[in-house]
Amino acid sequence: MEKYRLSLQERGMAIQYAELPWWKTGPIYQIYPRSFLDTNSDGVGDLEGIRRKLDYLQDLGVRGIWLSPIYPSPLYDFGYDITNYHDIDPVFGSLETFKLLVREAEARGISLIMDMVLNHTSHLHPWFIESRSSRDNPKRDWYIWKDGPRGPFGKGYPNNWMAAFGGHAWTWDKPTEQYYLHLFTEEQPDLNWRNPEVQEAMLAEMQFWLDLGVKGFRLDVINYLVKDAQFRNNPYHFRMTYPRRHDLQHHQFDRNQPETYEIVHRIRSLMDLYAGASEDTMLVGEVYPDEGVHAPDLAATYIGNGKDLLHLAFDFSTIYTSLTAADLHSVLQTWYGVLSPGAWPCHVLSNHDQSRAASRLCAGADNEAKKRVLAALLLTQRGTPFLYYGEEIGMEDGVIARKDLQDPLGKKYYPFHPGRDRSRTPMQWTGDSAAGFTEGKPWLPINRDFRKRNVEAQQRDPSSLLHWYRDLITLRQEEPALLDGSIEFFETGLQENVLAYVRRKAGSEVLVVLNVSGQTRPNPIRRGGTVLLSTHRKPQGTIEHDTRLAPWECTVYR
């Protein structure tokens, strides 16, 4: 199949970001730092590696970077268990390297956001060490300690809550004879967010990063912060899942308590202090619903009108969807529909917890063509697109042997759940050994396809997926209608698996047609126009109103 592309840069067009804050101009690129680029041959990616790739990211059109955790951590959950919230783990570098990274990113128009894990710390955090030292330690109440009820069979758990990574959410602590709560591993004790001292302490940690020039945070499991005041049992509900008792409950009492919104509001107020006139700071929340459940309405409640709570929240419905026009349309339409008028949407197809969309949605025949459809979809929607490192070259899930598993979830549920290592494999930069990621032994195996699939090869090939991403991003930033115009879907094509929509702004209209099938289909828009970017048509050529779309064709036109 011949591929055409419209090189907007070659046409000498300047990119205009309109009057929007940086985070609305996206894309925001998530880096899993352990896997991006290793510069000291210890097999683990580092901050210097990220710094060296800033030109690459700028060239791609990235406007922000979200760094998965880089704080000191004993790695029970690969950085999501933190022992010090205002330092860098030596494996990644130092605060000095970090400051340099912030400066150099900024010089390229790229803002940095940190991953903030507020719900829990590491069990080795000094706060928890103090808290568990005695029942009357001043930090005792910083975490959640409970007696177990006593019955005829001895003590029992305080309630039925289950941990996401297996077992009960309560661990018995012998020295002080109480249970502490952990919604993840037992090495991740939950903080008590009803305690104002905890709130103060955590806000101070965030302020530390804002003072260093960080422009915002991705808030880990933000909807988990506050627990039911009475610690009531979660109701059970049956669902087909891998054998995790955690998923057989509706998480009514261990998440989404009304007080959480007050805390989010406090955090937002801190952000606003640093925002300046251009709404320069941003919070994006991971709002995690019951496993496998579409809950865009829940995510929307954490954004509200966009002024007092989060700026953005992830709707993970896209993670549980299938690659059909009808499903994609329904997920997107629902997401737009539940957001208040002042709220700004965002979209995510892949992250460090899920199977990559390139594998999840694009497996089987025509898989490269499907990836182009997803890219075109993500980058022409209304709102901020999030990219996960390697998505732009179509990286797929790794196949990880049991002996190579690192992820606690994967180890616990092997072989029922593949774990999360599969989407965390090293970035594929070149076709050289270890994909140019490291000169040492990579912490996770490199995907087998790296000799064919890597950045260097795709940079050389103008018809590559990487070029397709770059062209889409450029187009998005040049066309006001794509950047912040309205969206309206044409429902007529859905039955034939064609997703078509129009983006509108101030008299300018951009039409998008995506043939989400391997068959030739009519264009449901029934309007002709001038091609801006297409997998199959020459730029500035025409598309006729009665055109038939080629299999998996993506065309953006005016």
- Indicate the residue among 171 and 517 with the shorter CB distance to ligand GLC: 171
Distance, in Å, from the CA atom of 103 to the CA atom of 532, rounded to the nearest integer, reads 35
User: What does 453 interact with, of Ca ion, ligand GLC, none (CB < 5 to 8 A by kind)?
Assistant: none
User: What does 77 interact with, of ligand GLC, Ca ion, none (CB < 5 to 8 A by kind)?
Assistant: ligand GLC
Question: Count of residues binding Ca ion (CB under 5 A)?
Answer: 5
Closest approach of ligand GLC to the CB of residue 288, in Å = 6
From candidates 22, 23, 80, 161, binder to ligand GLC by CB under 6 A = 80
Distance, in Å, from the CA atom of 75 to the CA atom of 88, rounded to the nearest integer, reads 13
- Indicate the residue among 122 and 555 with the shorter CB distance to ligand GLC: 122
The answer to whether 38 contacts Ca ion (rule: CB under 5 A) is yes
The answer to whether 46 contacts Ca ion (rule: CB under 5 A) is yes
Distance, in Å, from the CA atom of 283 to the CA atom of 295, rounded to the nearest integer, reads 19
User: Could you give the count of Cα atoms lying within 13 Å of 392 in the half-sphere of its Cβ?
Assistant: 32
- Indicate the residue among 38 and 286 with the shorter CB distance to ligand GLC: 286
The answer to whether 94 contacts Ca ion (rule: CB under 5 A) is no
Query: Of 115, 122, 33, 35, whose CA–CA distance to 77 is shortest?
Result: 122
The answer to whether 142 contacts ligand GLC (rule: CB under 6 A) is no
Kindly tell me the sign of the dihedral angle through the C-alpha atoms of 172, 174, 180, 185: negative
The answer to whether 77 contacts ligand GLC (rule: CB under 6 A) is yes
Distance, in Å, from the CA atom of 64 to the CA atom of 387, rounded to the nearest integer, reads 10
Closest approach of ligand GLC to the CB of residue 118, in Å = 10
User: What does 254 interact with, of ligand GLC, Ca ion, none (CB < 5 to 8 A by kind)?
Assistant: none
- Indicate the residue among 327 and 421 with the shorter CB distance to ligand GLC: 421
User: DSSP string covering 122-164, please?
Assistant: -TTSHHHHHHTT-TT-TTGGGB-EEPPPEETTEE--SS--B-T
Query: Of 548, 395, 527, whose CA–CA distance to 469 is shortest?
Result: 395
The answer to whether 184 contacts ligand GLC (rule: CB under 6 A) is yes
Pair 328, 516: CB distance under 8 Å: yes
Catalytic residue among 220, 397, 471, 553: 220
Distance, in Å, from the CA atom of 534 to the CA atom of 518, rounded to the nearest integer, reads 16
Which residues neighbour 350 within 8 Å (Cβ) at sequence distance 6 or greater? Answer: 356, 357, 358, 388, 391, 423
The answer to whether 405 contacts ligand GLC (rule: CB under 6 A) is no
Torsion of CA 430, 432, 434, 440, to 10 degrees: -120
Question: Count of residues binding ligand GLC (CB under 6 A)?
Answer: 10
User: DSSP string covering 189-203, please?
Assistant: PBB-TTSHHHHHHHH
The answer to whether 117 contacts ligand GLC (rule: CB under 6 A) is yes
Q: Mask of contacts with ligand GLC, 332-371, x by CB under 6 A?
A: --------------------xx------------------
**Rule CB under 6 A: which of 10-39 touch ligand GLC?**
none
The answer to whether 105 contacts ligand GLC (rule: CB under 6 A) is no
Pair 325, 497: CB distance under 8 Å: yes
The answer to whether 40 contacts Ca ion (rule: CB under 5 A) is yes
**Residue 506 region by backbone torsions, left for phi larger than 0, else alpha for psi between -120 and 50, else beta:** left
Catalytic residue list contains 87: no
User: What does 353 interact with, of ligand GLC, Ca ion, none (CB < 5 to 8 A by kind)?
Assistant: ligand GLC
The answer to whether 391 contacts ligand GLC (rule: CB under 6 A) is no
- Candidates 45-53, 187-195, 237-245, 357-365: pick the segment binding Ca ion (CB under 5 A): 45-53
Q: Mask of contacts with ligand GLC, 290-329, x by CB under 6 A?
A: ----------------------------------------
- Among all residues, whose Cβ is closest to ligand GLC? 80
In the block, tokens 């309560």 appear at 170
- Indicate the residue among 66 and 261 with the shorter CB distance to ligand GLC: 66
HEC string for 245-257: HHHHECCCCCCCC
Closest approach of ligand GLC to the CB of residue 353, in Å = 5
Distance, in Å, from the CA atom of 284 to the CA atom of 310, rounded to the nearest integer, reads 6
**Rule CB under 6 A: which of 488-527 touch ligand GLC?**
none
Pair 388, 360: CB distance under 8 Å: no
From candidates 9, 17, 42, 100, binder to Ca ion by CB under 5 A = 42
User: What does 220 interact with, of ligand GLC, Ca ion, none (CB < 5 to 8 A by kind)?
Assistant: ligand GLC
The answer to whether 187 contacts ligand GLC (rule: CB under 6 A) is no
Distance, in Å, from the CA atom of 196 to the CA atom of 24, rounded to the nearest integer, reads 33
- Indicate the residue among 69 and 304 with the shorter CB distance to ligand GLC: 69
Pair 271, 216: CB distance under 8 Å: yes
**Rule CB under 6 A: which of 205-264 touch ligand GLC?**
220-221
Closest approach of ligand GLC to the CB of residue 79, in Å = 8
- Indicate the residue among 227 and 352 with the shorter CB distance to ligand GLC: 352
User: What does 471 interact with, of Ca ion, ligand GLC, none (CB < 5 to 8 A by kind)?
Assistant: none
**346-348, strands of its sheet edge to edge:** 312-313, 282-285, 216-219, 111-116, 64-67, 28-31, 384-388, 346-348
What's the CA angle centered on 80, arms 74 and 86, to 5 degrees? 80
358 membership: H or E segment, kind and range: helix 357-360
Catalytic residue list contains 59: no
Distance, in Å, from the CA atom of 243 to the CA atom of 361, rounded to the nearest integer, reads 24
User: What does 89 interact with, of ligand GLC, Ca ion, none (CB < 5 to 8 A by kind)?
Assistant: none
Give 165's strand partners: none
- Indicate the residue among 184 and 552 with the shorter CB distance to ligand GLC: 184
Catalytic residue among 38, 89, 247, 286: 286
Distance, in Å, from the CA atom of 86 to the CA atom of 99, rounded to the nearest integer, reads 13
User: What does 117 interact with, of Ca ion, ligand GLC, none (CB < 5 to 8 A by kind)?
Assistant: ligand GLC
Catalytic positions, please? Answer: 220, 286
Residues contributing to the site for ligand GLC (CB under 6 A) = 77, 80, 117, 184, 220-221, 286, 288, 352-353
Residues contributing to the site for Ca ion (CB under 5 A) = 38, 40, 42, 44, 46
